[in-house]
Amino acid sequence: MNLASFDPVAAVLLIPIGSAALLAALPGYRLTARLNVVASLATFLAALCLFLIDRPPPGPYVLVDDLNIVFIVLNTFVGFTTSIFSASYIAHELETGRLTPAYLRFYHAMYQTMMFGMNLAFVSNNIGLMWVAVELATLTTVLMVGIYRTHAALEAAWKYFILGSVGIALALFGTILVYMAARPVVGEGQDGMIWTILIEHAADFDPALLNVAFVFLFLGYGTKVGLAPLHAWLPDAHAEGPTPISAVLSGLLLNVALYALLRFKILLAANPTAIAPGPLMVTMGLVSVVFAAFMLYRRRDIKRLFAYSSIEHMGIIVFAFGMGGPLANFAGLLHMVMHSLTKSAIFYAVGHISQIKGTQRINRIRGLTVTHPALGWGLVVGVAAIAGLPPLGIFMSEFLVVTSTFARQPLLAIVLVFGILLAFGALMLRLTSVAFGRPRGSTASAEASYVPMFAHLALVLGAGIYLPAPLVAWFQNVARLLG
């Protein structure tokens, strides 16, 4: 097959959905877990091909531009590494009997369906289709959060489902309002929902209607980003589901909602008379950072601890995009990539740790660096990265966010730094007790897959020391696009 007839966009969508059907039908753990890895790898390779091909012109449904390529490649890469982690994690769950083979089949099929939903949300040029895709991705994660069927898991899934549905309903109302605003200008029918057409004519839309639409979209998709005070579903969903799902929730699904938000932010910014979306995003971002930083101190469950840390980081990212301008956008984009890589690496470590220790309670886990050096030190590096210690990647992106804010709004920067330092303290406090000291809990050896975790950490470390020039140029270009 030559490159001309190969359509990576179709491949990114068809490989996950095709393998979902296959995985639903095939029995056996070994085969399906491997197939899951292979399918995820193939999707990742197809996503890389997006760099090589000539972009297809934006159609009524599909759009490929500089912005969503970043998201798709990140999404498929973390999806691929998580599938490797998932293979060893799930093997242990089968041994302990927490998952039965029937549920395993369901789990793998849902994993690929979720990848399909997320990729579809990224490539869609139609705001209605994007909404449907986000809904699909949410629904599949709801089902996976509840997969253990314990009381706590069902309750977490239910809470996630109800809050997610409300968010998604508000987002749909906002989408309808955008169409209403577009209709007098671009005419009835499909054109009123195609993003590239909307953005061309955005300047002529009724600003009042667009403002209300953005408020609904912000609340709707913001619920799914996990912004305080709409975050209530997030810690439960992270704590009670299988850990690979926690990793993709934090690393990927929050990004999908963020991406939807960014698309509408660009739309609003194109209309000079509408409200600037920035202040709204800055406020919610800051509230999330400070709130999550305080909440980190009270966590007793290790997965919930990192779930709150995700809220904090999504807050920083939304804050950076809200500030806008080339530098802050660049920093927000970089922070998003670094956060996805680091947080999923942490969840890989935490998944194996909680399997070995048989608990997620922080005070029952001690001295990991002594008993399990690879996992323990992996966790130490991961938490050091997420807390923002140099020379790791998150230090650089946080530094950029803070300095660019200091130059423009020193007061906001002080609040932001306060939140980041507070979170730093909480994470270090918990890290020292978990990683060092006299070992506590089971010391059984781990059958862990270290490759995904260390691959992510190496990337984060590498990015902290040296960012390749083409990557910087690409991100700068996207940052300009974001306005």
Site for another protein in 179-198 (CB under 8 A): 179-180, 183-184, 188-190, 192-193
Binding of another protein at residue 172 (CB under 8 A)? yes
Q: Does the footprint of another protein cover residue 162 (CB under 8 A)?
A: yes
Distance from C-alpha of 416 to C-alpha of 401, rounded to nearest angstrom: 9
Is 132 near another protein (CB under 8 A)? yes
What's the closest the beta carbon of residue 433 comes to another protein, in angstroms?
Answer: 13
Among 81, 82, 86, 126, binds another protein (CB under 8 A): 126
* Residue in 103, 158, 294, 297 binding another protein, rule: CB under 8 A: 158
Cβ at position 437, least distance to another protein in Å? 18
Residue from 22, 24, 53, 169 touching another protein (CB under 8 A): that is 169
Closer to another protein by Cβ: residue 29 or 158: 158
Q: Site for another protein (CB under 8 A): which residue of 51, 55, 155, 481?
A: 155
Q: Please, what is the minimum distance in Å from the beta carbon of residue 169 to another protein?
A: 6
Among 39-47, 127-135, 307-315, 440-448, the segment contacting another protein (CB under 8 A): 127-135
Three-state SS string over the chain comes to: CCHHHCCHHHHHHHHHHHHHHHHHHCCCHHHHHHHHHHHHHHHHHHHHHCCCCCCCCCCCCECCCHHHHHHHHHHHHHHHHHHHHHHHHHHHHHHHCCCCHHHHHHHHHHHHHHHHHHHHHHHECEHHHHHHHHHHHHHHHHHHHCCCCCHHHHHHHHHHHHHHHHHHHHHHHHHHHHHHHHHHHHCCCHHHHEHHHHHHHHHHCCHHHHHHHHHHHHHHHHHHHCCCCCCCHHHHHHHHCCHHHHHHHHHHHHHHHHHHHHHHHHHHHCCCCCCCCHHHHHHHHHHHHHHHHHHHCCCCEHHHHHHHHHHHHHHHHHHHHHHCHHHHHHHHHHHHHHHHHHHHHHHHHHHHHHHHHCCCEHHHCECHHHHCHHHHHHHHHHHHHHHCCCCCHHHHHHHHHHHHHHHHCHHHHHHHHHHHHHHHHHHHHHHHHHHCCCCECCCCCCCCCHHHHHHHHHHHHHHHHCCCHHHHHHHHHHHHHHC
| Residue of 224, 265, 304, 335 interacting with another protein (CB under 8 A) | 304
* Peptide bond preceding 27 in cis form (omega within 30 of 0): no
Binding flags for another protein, 272-301, as an x/- string (CB under 8 A)? --------------------------xxxx
Q: Is 165 in the site for another protein (CB under 8 A)?
A: yes
The gap from C-alpha 368 to its chain's centroid, in whole angstroms, comes to 27
Interface residues for another protein in 361-400 (CB under 8 A)? 361
Among 117, 146, 251, 285, binds another protein (CB under 8 A): 146
> Using CB under 8 A, which residues numbered 191 to 250 contact another protein?
192-193, 206, 208-209, 211-212, 232, 236, 239
Minimum Å distance from CB 1 to another protein?
32
Which of 71, 111, 122, 135 binds another protein (CB under 8 A)? It is 135
Span interacting with another protein, options 157-165, 331-339, 390-398, 444-452, rule CB under 8 A: 157-165
Instruction: Establish if 159 lies at the interface with another protein (CB under 8 A).
Output: yes
Cα distances (angstroms) measured from residue 119 to each of 10, 68, 90, 133: 10, 10, 24, 8
**Residue 292 Cβ, how far from another protein at the closest point, in Å?**
15
* Stretch in the footprint of another protein (CB under 8 A) among 5-13, 169-177, 389-397, 437-445: 169-177
Does residue number 176 form part of the binding site for another protein (CB under 8 A)? yes
Question: Closest approach of Cβ 163 to another protein, in Å?
Answer: 9
Tell me which residues touch another protein (CB under 8 A). Answer: 126, 128-129, 131-132, 135, 139, 146, 149, 151-152, 154-155, 158-159, 161-162, 165-166, 169-170, 172-173, 176-177, 179-180, 183-184, 188-190, 192-193, 206, 208-209, 211-212, 232, 236, 239, 298-301, 304, 361
